[in-house]
Amino acid sequence: MFRYIFILMLMTLTKTNCTGHKKVLKNGKAIKLITGNFIISKIDSTNSYYLIYGLKNKNSYKIISKKELSAETEEKLEIGKNYLLSLKNFRQQDDNPLTGYSSSDPCFFLDKNTQICTEENVFGPYITEDLVGLYYVKK
């Protein structure tokens, strides 16, 4: 009986609803993921990071991707193209007074030289394991 209740609870916590939101557990905390097809609308960069803007259901999302090289077999992102992504809100992390990160401030530092700010009418910033630099990692 306990096993069935546990399985039911696990299924409920990881269930994806019709809006493409998914909750997974990490260190006992529920992490909300936004999954689905995103159209890449803009690519920018600052210091060691790319800022990638994706559109989904008429909403804009800012995605942070560290500048890294990827295998030549990976697909480089193209503006106007669709990609299946699973986004995790960067600001969903715990506040950290040692790094100065606070979930209530509109700006924060990714490293000592790179400040990122939220933008009006843009959700995020988000991170994803589906990108390495400017390359889409097919799973």
Q: Is the pLDDT of residue 99 over 90?
A: no
Does the structure show a pLDDT above 60 at 81? yes
Contact 110, 116 (CB under 8 A): yes
State both tokens at 34: 């936004």
pLDDT tens, residue by residue, 101-117:
555 678 888 888 999 88
Task: Among 1-15, 45-59, 71-85, name the most confident range.
Answer: 45-59
Q: What is the mean pLDDT of residues 115-127?
A: 91
Residue 100: pLDDT above 70? no
3-class DSSP state of 126: strand
Query: Does 46 score more than 50 pLDDT?
Result: yes
